[in-house]
Structure 1
Amino acid sequence: MSLIDNKKKQSFLIQWGMVLVAVVAIYQLPAWTKLDDLYNDYWRVEIAKKTQPSDDIIVIKIDDKSLSEMEEDIGFWPWPRTTHAFLVEGLLAANSKAIVFDIMFSERDKLRDGDEFFREVVSQQPNIFYAAALLKEESPEDLVSLEDLPQSFFSKPYVRADSTVNNSSKITMSLPWIIAVEDWNVGLIDFLADWDGSARRYPVVTEVQGAKLNSLPNRVAEYVISQPDTNTGNNQRTTRTEQDFIHLKYKGVDYVPFQSVSYAVAYDFLTNRKRLDLFKDKIVVIGATATGLHDLRETPIAQLYPATSILAMAIDNLILNDYLIVVNKNYGLMVSVILVSLLLAITFLFDSYRIQLALSIGLLLFSALCLLTLSYFLSQSDRLFPAASSFTILFSVLVVLLFYRGLKEYMSRQHALQTFSRFMDPVVVKQLMSDEDWQEKTANKSCKVSVLFSDIRGFTTLSEKRTAEEIMAILNNYFDRQVEAIFSTGGTLDKFIGDAVMAFWGAPIEDDNHAEHAVDAALKMVDNLLTFRESLPEELREFDVGIGVHSGDAVVGMLGSAKRFDYTAIGDTVNLGSRIEGVTKGIARILVSETTKELCGDVFDFEFKGEFAVKGREEKVKLYQPSRRVAVNEN
């Protein structure tokens, strides 16, 4: 038994190792990251619902209302730069903390005179920031050398080094050329679009030809953090992220979640110096939200979300150091390994397919609950866990294992059905196969059985009077009747030995009345013999039968070689049953041992035939001839 257990353990360890290697390899596929992104979008929205953006940020919206209301006085979009200049003058008068343009000033206004005035207004203003963007298509007028860019464009934690950065390298960028280079407080506004185009991340710095360029939100955050707090006089914060990008923590689920005002309204307030307190000490982000200006992006919050709102959100996250943390996917892999190991342990500890199925589904549901709970509690601290990939891998392994186990179970049942249908009544076999413990019942084991041996008398004389074909036809007809007697009493046909038959009762299906059923089958076989002989010609009716029955312990199971094996019984009980059949000649058609007689109780009548010496036994064996009891008329 220990040898079998060791082989089972070795097989389990090999399977466990192979499955885990496959899990680790599969987990590296990009598809799992995509799945986790979609799953965690739900938690991104849930986090956004319960949080509010900073009150220090206000968005001046170039919305549909502004485009309509300002069309008559100022004209169609894009408006003259003088319009923005008047707006900036008002914001400067209001003492805004920072002014951020999510508008490109790369092309000079050749139709209207306003660039010079705008340049003068923004000159030497360190709190005004402009957008720059990397261009995919190269164009000679947009080529710029890295050495021509202001030092502030480069990330402070990643100051360019002459040994690593080729200053003569040229890149294609859209830059605010209408402003003097010395006044360039610029940063990139290229957000990181994920595989599905959604804005889940925002770059802090972007590496370009070995140099790391600041994003616009990072430039604004650097400036704001460096400014003294209005209450304490100290810098607001000295720590800042050194990551190349952040996972955006969206706050609020509105189209523009920040405090906002239409450009037309803001222009009226600021040019007339009204409601300046609305913009005092605020970070003012100016950008387009109108649908017609096509500056909308896909986000976890909405399919169409203003890029200006994304920019403002990145500024909020960086200033407050308040962004989402995506848990390293290796922790998800670790959870996957643990869950898959538990699943494999179930298949190792339980042989029953139904128990495996029930426990595996239970593990799947429990894992889903745990992963959801873990995701919930982590989301409370702005962390996102790769739960979807862990659960899906567990589910995938479960499906594969259950399919494999189910297929193996089905093939095993079909093989057992075909095998046992040779030895037992097909109806009984189907009942056996439908039992959950069929494998245990058909396994090799020692049990109580009753063994029957039946042999034809006078077969030699019969074979001398008929051809081989006639003999085989007669025998097959005879055996059909005798096998029916065995099956009808729940017996198992062991084998045919020439013209002899061996059968037993009590295995593979346990039978407390195995002795009674064996004797009943013997009596039926005699009845079948007498009926069968009447159908034969007169000269063939001389053959008879001898049947021996004995009850006791025997080892039953599949025995044979790898190419051929049978379900059989072996042991002393079987040997004695065969010996008893040999004694029947000249004594009785049926002889049973004393053990069988006692197990039958008073179901049959038994006539004592004496004590007989049999081969392999020192003591003589008491034998009895059974017969059916005759009902006694009480009258």
Structure 2
Amino acid sequence: MMLRKNIIKSGYIILTFMIFIYIIYTNLGMTFFEIFEVKTYDMRYKAMDIFEKKNREYDVVIAGVDEKSLIEIGKWPWERSIHGKLVTALTEYGVKSIGFDVSFTEEGVSKDKIDYKKNMKTIVATKYKQGIIPEQDAIELLKEINKLDTDQDYEFALALKKAKNTVIGTYNIMDIAEDISRFEYNKIYYQKSRFYKINGILDEIKEVGRTGERRVKPFEIYKIIPPIDIIAKFAYGIAPYDVGRPDIDGVLRGIVTVTKENLSNLYFPPLYLLVYLKSENLSIKDNVVLDLKNSKIDIFKDEKLYKTIPTNINGYQRLFFYGKGHTFKYISYTDIINKRVDKKELENKIVLVGYTDSAKGLYDLRVTPLDPNTPGVELHATAIQNLIDNKFMKRIEVKGEVPLLFLFGSLIIFILSIKDINLALSNILTNSVIVTYLILSYILFRKGLWIEVFYPIVVFILIYLILTIENYFLEGKEKKYIRNVFGHYISPILVEELVKKPEMLKLGGEKRELTAFFSDIQGFTSISEKMSPEELVEFLNDYLSVSTNIILEYKGTIDKYIGDAVMAIFGAPIQLENNALNACFAALEYQEKLVEFREKYKESGYPPIYARIGINSGEMVVGNMGCNIGENKKFNYTIIGDEVNLASRLEGANKMYGTYIMISENTYKKVKEDVEARLLDLARVKGKKVAVKTYELMAKKGELSQEKLKLKELYEKGLDFYFNKEWKKSKEMFLKAIEVDENDGPSKLYIKRIEEYIKNPPPEDWDGVYTFTTK
């Protein structure tokens, strides 16, 4: 697999830069990408809502202040005794704990009304004693005065005292300028619900001393306004019901777990946490640790860690939403106090009291990822159920996101750097990486881990676009390079194939099974001496054009020209089904064209032009070879190796045999079914120990003339006698061959050898091998 190193380099420069931007952007708290990221967050919830089944029963039930209750009970606010009845009814139903997402910061009955009732009783009693009012009339008047209900707060408090399971919400003053003098309260009652155990508070104090700013910046208010004392005194707990501020796009995706009261400098838990603690018979004082240092809240049970609520550094908890609004069961407030509810619906449940979306005039609706009209009480219910399920939504921090960015970015860079794949495939693979990241984000989201989607996708697309553009220009340069380098040496068809599939051209050396082709003009020196320089150039151009066109026609590659000599490769850079056969057919046509070429130049008075060709097939090293030092970069696509040298020597050996196309045994084995050839010799070329069989290529299969067939038959009989040392019979056959073709060089050569062996017989162990003494 070949990779584009410059693409890898460019890719990692982009990726590193984008990761650096991400780290800086995150640490500075910038929000440009955040508005898009939270939308991908919502999309994941919507996907879950569509594809995931939600057939389950929740542990939290909502006692809804709804339209039905307003009709039956009357206009809000209701008398406190009504709330007392609710607490009493819920306790009788066997609920674990109750939470009021409602505040009771003022008396249920005005002070004037209480004073009026007291004064009226005094007046009636005085006038009775003075004898102004008869006894019976005084009794009737006192009955009517007692009908003025001024004890409803006490009735509510009495219900709370008996239940011992109810948490009341607090009203929060945000601005120091707001008048709080109208509120009367005993701070002891509400401060008992604060966080007692806080890890990291000393670090925060030191940080303020060092920098003047806090590291942890929880939700801050000026003053908590608790319920009136009589209610606060008997409530299990008192806690802020504020859910916090929405995200940048106005959507609430979490809830505040830590509220800091600036006036007292104390930290308070949220309403939902106290309601949950009561359901488990735990307390904020003994069982909870606020860990500012590690951004979490630990809950202990039996001196062991029981639950952990993950938050961000500022104590904000991302909620794991279960579905659209009204996920939890809503039971009408009035149905509970009038005992119209099956006990199974409430027994062992946690109940939250709050406004519903049907309660006209009591607006407490929030925009959440799945519903723009979610009752605020449902956020507390979701937080409690998260705690029960141990299922939270935690956002992966920078140190977790960066490795993911690097890993998936690297995969895209790797894909785009591969030379062996085309644009369509790289698109598919890149999109697969991006889709895999999206699937991973969804899978992790289901498990409560929020990883970034928007910024990483921007990074991946940016890398893809830039590297694709760079690849486009690189491919253009490669195509231009291929056309420039190979345009003159291989056929246009093969050039375009290389342009389409540059991966077929592997730079550098590699071993491949190829066929080497060498040709040279016979007696060129003497021919060239008879020509002027201009005529010689014209002649060579004409000759080389003929030879080149034939080689290219048979999908060969011109390696080089050496004067009148031509060196060609068959099988590289484009692999051929049978490169040996293409080389042989090219050689045969080469000789046919030379017949026409001789006729042309015969009229000019030049000697007849003949060319010798040597062909060998085998394993050779092929590739771009040359100089790569400094600016002196010069390469040549060529082949080297022993098999190449053998082809060159076969071309020269034609002179000895009087032939024009000599091929090796390796080549012959590959083409013998398609050509006519005869064995020339068992020869050992200079510098080699192993003898090789050489053949003369005569024609394509079935195209040999009758005269040549007769010649071949006689020649081969003579050769058989020769190798059996039957010199007389052998010579006789070669002489008959010459009668058929008086110019047959191989027959003449063997007659000459036989005459030499008759005079000087070879040794007894002679194996028929002839050793060349020259190259």
Scaled to the shorter chain, the TM-score interval is 0.5 to 0.7
1:232 matched residue in structure 2: none
**What letter is aligned with 2:371?**
A
Cα separation, partners in 2 of 1:258 and 1:252, compared to 1, 3 Å: farther
**What letter is aligned with 1:559?**
M
Question: Offset of 1:288 from its aligned partner?
Answer: 4.5
1:423 matched residue in structure 2: 489
Q: Does the Cα contact within 8 Å between 2:616 and 2:643 map onto a contact in 1?
A: yes
Question: Offset of 1:296 from its aligned partner?
Answer: 1.4
Question: Offset of 1:592 from its aligned partner?
Answer: 1.9
SS of corresponding position for 2:490:
coil
1:324 matched residue in structure 2: 391
Cα separation, partners in 2 of 1:519 and 1:17, compared to 1, 3 Å: closer
Asked whether 1:299 is paired with 2:368, we answer yes
1:131 matched residue in structure 2: 170
Which of 242, 255, 259 is 2:326 aligned to? 255
1:590 matched residue in structure 2: 660
Q: Distance in 2 between matches of 1:345 and 1:577?
A: 45
Which of 570, 575, 584 is 2:640 aligned to? 570
Question: Offset of 1:480 from its aligned partner?
Answer: 2.4
Q: Does the Cα contact within 8 Å between 2:616 and 2:646 map onto a contact in 1?
A: no
Q: Does the Cα contact within 8 Å between 1:490 and 1:505 map onto a contact in 2?
A: yes
Q: Distance in 1 between matches of 2:429 and 2:413?
A: 10
1:482 matched residue in structure 2: 547
Question: Offset of 1:372 from its aligned partner?
Answer: 9.3
Cα separation, partners in 2 of 1:40 and 1:454, compared to 1, 3 Å: farther
Q: Distance in 2 between matches of 1:573 and 1:241?
A: 76
Question: Offset of 1:285 from its aligned partner?
Answer: 0.5
**What letter is aligned with 2:563?**
G
2:290 matched residue in structure 1: none
Mean Cα deviation higher: 430-439 or 518-527: 430-439
Q: Distance in 2 between matches of 1:620 and 1:314?
A: 90
Q: Distance in 1 between matches of 2:167 and 2:582?
A: 103
After TM superposition, list the pairs within 5 Å mapping 1:149-168 onto structure 2.
Answer: 150-158=190-198
1:289 matched residue in structure 2: 357
Asked whether 1:203 is paired with 2:203, we answer no
2:568 matched residue in structure 1: 503
The unaligned stretches of length 5 or more in structure 2 are 27-32, 116-149, 209-219, 284-299, 710-775
Question: Offset of 1:445 from its aligned partner?
Answer: 1.1
Q: Distance in 2 between matches of 1:110 and 1:221?
A: 31
Asked whether 1:445 is paired with 2:516, we answer no
Cα separation, partners in 2 of 1:211 and 1:521, compared to 1, 3 Å: same
Mean Cα deviation higher: 485-494 or 280-289: 280-289
Question: Offset of 1:362 from its aligned partner?
Answer: 12
After TM superposition, list the pairs within 5 Å mapping 1:451-490 onto structure 2.
Answer: 451-455=517-521, 468=534, 472=537, 475-490=540-555
Q: Does the Cα contact within 8 Å between 2:489 and 2:559 map onto a contact in 1?
A: yes
Question: Offset of 1:492 from its aligned partner?
Answer: 1.9
Cα separation, partners in 2 of 1:518 and 1:431, compared to 1, 3 Å: same
Q: Distance in 2 between matches of 1:52 and 1:481?
A: 89
1:384 matched residue in structure 2: 448
The unaligned stretches of length 5 or more in structure 1 are 229-235
Question: Aligned residues, how many?
Answer: 591
Cα separation, partners in 2 of 1:432 and 1:121, compared to 1, 3 Å: same
After TM superposition, list the pairs within 5 Å mapping 1:399-438 onto structure 2.
Answer: 400=464, 415-416=481-482, 419-431=485-497, 438=504
Mean Cα deviation higher: 363-372 or 323-332: 363-372
Cα separation, partners in 2 of 1:203 and 1:369, compared to 1, 3 Å: closer
Structure number with larger C-alpha Rg: 2
Cα separation, partners in 2 of 1:148 and 1:365, compared to 1, 3 Å: closer
SS of corresponding position for 1:544:
coil
**What letter is aligned with 1:152?**
K
Q: Does the Cα contact within 8 Å between 1:610 and 1:624 map onto a contact in 2?
A: yes
Q: Does the Cα contact within 8 Å between 2:89 and 2:339 map onto a contact in 1?
A: no
Q: Distance in 2 between matches of 1:631 and 1:160?
A: 105
Cα separation, partners in 2 of 1:471 and 1:439, compared to 1, 3 Å: closer
Question: Offset of 1:217 from its aligned partner?
Answer: 1.9
Question: Offset of 1:410 from its aligned partner?
Answer: 8.3
Cα separation, partners in 2 of 1:171 and 1:405, compared to 1, 3 Å: closer
Q: Distance in 2 between matches of 1:128 and 1:617?
A: 103
Q: Distance in 2 between matches of 1:403 and 1:431?
A: 21
Q: Does the Cα contact within 8 Å between 1:593 and 1:621 map onto a contact in 2?
A: no
SS of corresponding position for 2:255:
strand
Q: Distance in 2 between matches of 1:623 and 1:182?
A: 113
Which of 308, 316, 328 is 2:377 aligned to? 308
SS of corresponding position for 1:419:
helix
Question: Offset of 1:88 from its aligned partner?
Answer: 2.4
SS of corresponding position for 2:368:
coil
1:23-55, CA deviations, whole angstroms, 9 ceiling, x for partnerless residues? 987996867985567435644787782332336
Q: Distance in 2 between matches of 1:252 and 1:530?
A: 90
Q: Does the Cα contact within 8 Å between 2:320 and 2:392 map onto a contact in 1?
A: no
Q: Does the Cα contact within 8 Å between 1:154 and 1:160 map onto a contact in 2?
A: no
Q: Does the Cα contact within 8 Å between 1:47 and 1:251 map onto a contact in 2?
A: no
Question: Offset of 1:254 from its aligned partner?
Answer: 5.3
SS of corresponding position for 1:102:
strand
Cα separation, partners in 2 of 1:481 and 1:260, compared to 1, 3 Å: same
1:220 matched residue in structure 2: 275
Cα separation, partners in 2 of 1:515 and 1:115, compared to 1, 3 Å: farther
CA RMSD of aligned residues (A): 6.3
TM-score by length of 2: 0.57
Question: Offset of 1:605 from its aligned partner?
Answer: 5.9
Cα separation, partners in 2 of 1:458 and 1:207, compared to 1, 3 Å: same
Question: Offset of 1:472 from its aligned partner?
Answer: 4.5
Asked whether 1:559 is paired with 2:625, we answer yes
Question: Offset of 1:353 from its aligned partner?
Answer: 3.8
Question: Offset of 1:494 from its aligned partner?
Answer: 0.8
Cα separation, partners in 2 of 1:297 and 1:373, compared to 1, 3 Å: closer
Identical columns (%) = 21
Question: Offset of 1:305 from its aligned partner?
Answer: 0.8
Q: Does the Cα contact within 8 Å between 2:223 and 2:261 map onto a contact in 1?
A: no
Asked whether 1:190 is paired with 2:242, we answer yes
**What letter is aligned with 1:54?**
D
SS of corresponding position for 1:304:
strand
Q: Does the Cα contact within 8 Å between 2:571 and 2:579 map onto a contact in 1?
A: yes
TM-score by length of 1: 0.67
SS of corresponding position for 2:57:
coil
Question: Offset of 1:306 from its aligned partner?
Answer: 0.8
Q: Does the Cα contact within 8 Å between 1:550 and 1:595 map onto a contact in 2?
A: no
Question: Offset of 1:523 from its aligned partner?
Answer: 3.6
Q: Distance in 1 between matches of 2:521 and 2:593?
A: 14
Question: Offset of 1:434 from its aligned partner?
Answer: 6.4
**What letter is aligned with 1:212?**
Y
Asked whether 1:91 is paired with 2:86, we answer yes
Q: Does the Cα contact within 8 Å between 1:546 and 1:588 map onto a contact in 2?
A: no
Q: Distance in 2 between matches of 1:611 and 1:251?
A: 88
Cα separation, partners in 2 of 1:428 and 1:568, compared to 1, 3 Å: same
SS of corresponding position for 1:155:
coil
**What letter is aligned with 2:271?**
L
Cα separation, partners in 2 of 1:597 and 1:361, compared to 1, 3 Å: closer
Question: Offset of 1:311 from its aligned partner?
Answer: 2.7
